[in-house]
Structure 1
Amino acid sequence: MQLLIDFQDSLLLGIKEDFKRFLKEKINWKQRMIGIKGPRGAGKTTLMLQHLKFTLQKSHVNGLYVTADHPWFYKNNLLDTAMDWFQQGGQVLLIDEVHKYPNWSRELKNIYDGLPQLQVIFSASSALDIYRGESDLSRRVISYTLPGLSFREYLKLSEVGDFPSFSLEDLQKRHREISQEVISKIRPLPYFEKYLSRGYLPIFVEGENEYGSKLEHIINTVVDTDLAYISSYNAGTAAKVKKLLGVIAESAPFKPNIASISAKLGISRDRIVEHIYQLKDAKILNILLAQGKGVSRLQKPDKLYLENTNLSFAINSSPDIGALRETFLLNQLLNAGHEVFEPKKGDFWVNGITIEVGGKNKSPKQVLNEGEYLIASDEIESGWGAKLPLWLFGFLY
């Protein structure tokens, strides 16, 4: 046990509280079992360690952080570790990357049922369905998702400016007032351009020049390692999924012809759809279904997007500006918790509003007769009427 405590203490030395992800204030930290999912590099580990150092330890609550791939677990199992920690006065056990532990759901269930006075907080890959393990956790765990940075959070972490978040209704009704407040303090467009290429994951603070190579490594690790843990991938499956991702990345956003992709890659149509949804769960892709369709994993996606604009730059050194605009807007809407669909006219339909995306001269003629609408325009600092700056959607969370 001392080995784990020493490992934890070493990590805590480098943890600061000057920047906190938006999710920290939204989590109900009193729940007995909390799951935090999210893409690699989004800051799940830092979030847990901040909670341990600045909340638990300051409140004199005994917490222990472990990571599921630590050599400790070569000879020790998770349940016995939790039992030992509880017997030594432990009150909270924080488990990082739980998906890397065999039989994770069964052991979490046993800890929950057998140690009712021990709180468990764990992190996992975005692709992990924590409610569908071999043991039912649906009644036991409260799950949260930590996405990549919003544009607002990027500005805060870059020490450019500290601004509040706003709801979609706020943006619709007060966008001119909000944008004027922001531009009275900073010029947002140059920072927005940087954010689109290398600002979605907090790892940009480690060096912008290395960001691209680190992002490529994350993509490979997600397919080769994370999905191998979760979906029983083998090397051959991973290679096929990478080829599929390459095909999608060449044209995203686009309406997929599943039959054509199937013939090109030699993978069955059902398996193509399955892999697309796995890549969606892993936060590599976003999918769009047509307005009016129910959300089901059996449905063929009507449109495919890369999950964030940074991926576009990692895969294509000169991505299409129109594709970047759509990718950004869909990403921020989904990360803010909105259900988004493809309308008959316009780019996105959300909360009864049709949104058309474009440059500074984008006109509303395509959506004029579609009821409530917004024009999300790039390359402008402030808007008017139903036209608002695209960058302002980066303040939704």
Structure 2
Amino acid sequence: MNQIIEKYIRKQVYETPIIVSRKISTEENIKFNKREDYYKLQQRADDFLNRENEKRFFVLPGLRGVGKTTLLLQIYEYLLNEKNVNPKNLLYVSCEEINFAGEVNIKEVIESYLKIFHNTTPTLLDEDVFIFIDEVHYDRNWAMAGKIMFDKSPHIFMIFTGSSSLHLSYNADAARRLRTQSILPLNYSEHLKLKYNYFTDISKDLNDLIFKGEVESAQKKELKIQNDLISVKDYKLNDWDNYFKYGSFPSTLNEKYTSDIVRDLWSIIYRIVSNDISNIFNINRNTQNLIYRILTFLAEQKPGEISQNKVAASLNCSTSRINSIFNILEQTQLIFHCEAYGGIKKRVRKSWKYYLATPSVKNCINETLGNTILDKSDYEGVLLENLVASSLHNLSYTGDLPLFNTYYDMDKGGVDFIVQKHFQTPIPIEVGMGKKDNKQIKKAINKLNADYGIVISNKTSSIEKDEDIIYISPKTFSLL
């Protein structure tokens, strides 16, 4: 047995019960609020303890900074203090820390833990243990290790976290054992819950507004939220503006200065490129530098101005190399794309529009490295388009709704987005800062024979419906 790994495991089992509360609380010892993902995992742990479900291997992919480690430690603390699980039956380890000691081998870590603290093997284990492993992508065989442990013992409950591209690392055999729960950046509803302990259930009503054109229920809840926030303790009038440019990552929620937030976000981007992408895709320093240049290019451009050919020409690289890096960035969820609306032939011929994961990522890169959009209103309009694209992308990605697709309008002067569920009428969406014009949306409604269209604009303070056009403020839309 690797003596360094053995010492690390002993240290983790002895120290984690002592320090866990500190890691999931503020400096004033106030526990962090819990996002919805926590309650789903808590229920899974309860099911395991009560023998009500056989699912006991869960994988949480997500960008750095979205709160995966906090989720693991919150579940750990729940089992320790509320379910009275013996500390020796709880193991939390970080593969990023183990990596400093040598090559990570999750199978060896789990077997060593069982030998040290239970004097047994996975097959002979006769009591329930909970194993939480952070940053599992440092072990290329993490999925097989989890699958082997799952098969050897019904007494092992596992939660693994790691890069957003974890889905690339397991085969169909492992997939049958594990359940994936992607951890996404915060929408504004989650931001309010985590930062101010304010709860809202408007999301479903906004879903119905967008996909069914039903506005009344969303209007009532929007008004309630507007009235409630006036009396929420410590809530500032510019909170949404800060969320818009600097929010969506729980790790920056309690930062006081925007300069510190920008540095923290840049650190997240840096570690994704230099650690996660480099480890998973085995790229060299030159390719890392090219990735930074591509991210900078994407951040300073308007989405409609981006094509892989243009990026290749601007950076003096081959289109094939640029295409490969775009694929890597999409797999790690630092960027995503929208295709043109239309038939397969049209979509194949047209370039894709690319967006950064959140407007805060786009803004962070621009504030760190500078941008070429000099007009403040134009710049905020580009960020707002990114926010809407991110919200729609994440909503589709969670699977909370029947599958829908988000496209861009390829017509000159067309709307920004067209969303469509399979076989249903498409819905045009226009986005803009400083305007509430209805010419484009009217044209799109007629062209698509849509029942209604949606305008997301800061010229609207509350949800309105005027004939076949629904107007929504960016702040309300971000609650989706």
| TM-score in terms of structure 1 length | 0.89
Q: 2:131 touches 2:157 (CA, 8 Å); kept in 1?
A: yes
1:288-337 per-residue CA deviation (whole Å, 9 max, x = no partner) reads 1122467xxx9985111122111222122376011011111111122223
In the alignment, the residues of structure 2 paired with residue 76 and residue 195 of structure 1 have an alpha-carbon distance, to the nearest angstrom, of: 37
SS of residue matched to 1:324: helix
In the alignment, the residues of structure 2 paired with residue 66 and residue 133 of structure 1 have an alpha-carbon distance, to the nearest angstrom, of: 21
Higher relative contact order (CA 8 A, sep 6+): 1
Residue 103 of structure 1 is aligned with which of 141, 146, 156?
A: 141
Question: CA 1:379 to 1:55, structure 2 compared with 1: closer, same or farther past 3 Å?
Answer: farther
In the alignment, the residues of structure 2 paired with residue 359 and residue 81 of structure 1 have an alpha-carbon distance, to the nearest angstrom, of: 52
SS of residue matched to 2:166: coil
Q: 1:291 touches 1:349 (CA, 8 Å); kept in 2?
A: yes
Q: 2:64 touches 2:268 (CA, 8 Å); kept in 1?
A: yes
User: How much is the aligned-residue C-alpha RMSD, in angstroms?
Assistant: 2.7
In the alignment, the residues of structure 2 paired with residue 9 and residue 162 of structure 1 have an alpha-carbon distance, to the nearest angstrom, of: 29
**Aligned-pair CA distance for 1:357:** 0.9
Structure 2 match to 1:145 = 182
In the alignment, the residues of structure 1 paired with residue 186 and residue 207 of structure 2 have an alpha-carbon distance, to the nearest angstrom, of: 21
1:260-287 per-residue CA deviation (whole Å, 9 max, x = no partner) reads 3223323321221221122123232221
Q: Which amino acid aligns with 1:8?
A: T
Structure 1 match to 2:241 = 193
1:340-381 per-residue CA deviation (whole Å, 9 max, x = no partner) reads 221343111223321111236412221222413111122532
1:136-190 per-residue CA deviation (whole Å, 9 max, x = no partner) reads 4221211111111111121222317332241243334233222211111226962
In the alignment, the residues of structure 2 paired with residue 252 and residue 307 of structure 1 have an alpha-carbon distance, to the nearest angstrom, of: 15
Q: Does 1:362 align with 2:436?
A: yes
Q: Which amino acid aligns with 1:288?
A: C
Q: Does 1:54 align with 2:138?
A: no
In the alignment, the residues of structure 2 paired with residue 299 and residue 233 of structure 1 have an alpha-carbon distance, to the nearest angstrom, of: 30
In the alignment, the residues of structure 2 paired with residue 323 and residue 284 of structure 1 have an alpha-carbon distance, to the nearest angstrom, of: 17
Q: Does 1:63 align with 2:87?
A: no
Structure 2 match to 1:78 = 106
Q: 2:363 touches 2:383 (CA, 8 Å); kept in 1?
A: no
Structure 2 match to 1:33 = 57
Structure 2 match to 1:179 = 222
In the alignment, the residues of structure 2 paired with residue 267 and residue 300 of structure 1 have an alpha-carbon distance, to the nearest angstrom, of: 21
Q: 1:273 touches 1:300 (CA, 8 Å); kept in 2?
A: no
Question: CA 1:291 to 1:116, structure 2 compared with 1: closer, same or farther past 3 Å?
Answer: farther
Summarize the alignment of residues 1-397 of structure 1 with structure 2, pairs less than 5 Å apart: 1-14=9-22, 15-16=24-25, 17-27=31-41, 29=44, 30=47, 31-55=55-79, 57-61=81-85, 62-71=89-98, 74=102, 77-86=105-114, 88=118, 89-130=127-168, 132-133=169-170, 136-159=173-196, 161-167=198-204, 168-172=206-210, 173-174=214-215, 175-186=218-229, 190-209=238-257, 210-292=260-342, 302-317=352-367, 320-337=379-396, 339-344=405-410, 345-351=414-420, 352-359=426-433, 361-368=435-442, 369=446, 370=448, 371=450, 372-385=452-465, 386-396=470-480
Q: Which deviates further from its counterpart, 137-146 or 55-64? A: 55-64
Question: CA 1:76 to 1:367, structure 2 compared with 1: closer, same or farther past 3 Å?
Answer: closer
In the alignment, the residues of structure 1 paired with residue 138 and residue 343 of structure 2 have an alpha-carbon distance, to the nearest angstrom, of: 35
SS of residue matched to 1:119: strand
Question: CA 1:52 to 1:228, structure 2 compared with 1: closer, same or farther past 3 Å?
Answer: same
Q: Which deviates further from its counterpart, 132-141 or 120-129? A: 132-141
SS of residue matched to 1:366: helix
Count of aligned pairs between the two proteins: 392
Q: 1:105 touches 1:136 (CA, 8 Å); kept in 2?
A: no
Q: 2:202 touches 2:221 (CA, 8 Å); kept in 1?
A: no
**Aligned-pair CA distance for 1:227:** 0.1
In the alignment, the residues of structure 1 paired with residue 139 and residue 170 of structure 2 have an alpha-carbon distance, to the nearest angstrom, of: 12
In the alignment, the residues of structure 2 paired with residue 8 and residue 290 of structure 1 have an alpha-carbon distance, to the nearest angstrom, of: 50
In the alignment, the residues of structure 1 paired with residue 19 and residue 102 of structure 2 have an alpha-carbon distance, to the nearest angstrom, of: 21
Q: 2:130 touches 2:157 (CA, 8 Å); kept in 1?
A: yes
Q: Which has the larger radius of gyration?
A: 2
Question: CA 1:233 to 1:310, structure 2 compared with 1: closer, same or farther past 3 Å?
Answer: same
SS of residue matched to 1:121: strand
1:96-144 per-residue CA deviation (whole Å, 9 max, x = no partner) reads 11001243233223222223431211001113325x4478422121111
Question: CA 1:336 to 1:75, structure 2 compared with 1: closer, same or farther past 3 Å?
Answer: closer
Q: Which amino acid aligns with 2:355?
A: Y
Structure 1: gaps spanning 5 or more residues: none
Q: Which amino acid aligns with 1:139?
A: R
Q: 2:299 touches 2:363 (CA, 8 Å); kept in 1?
A: no
Q: 2:105 touches 2:139 (CA, 8 Å); kept in 1?
A: no
| TM-score in terms of structure 2 length | 0.75
Q: Which has the higher helix share?
A: 2
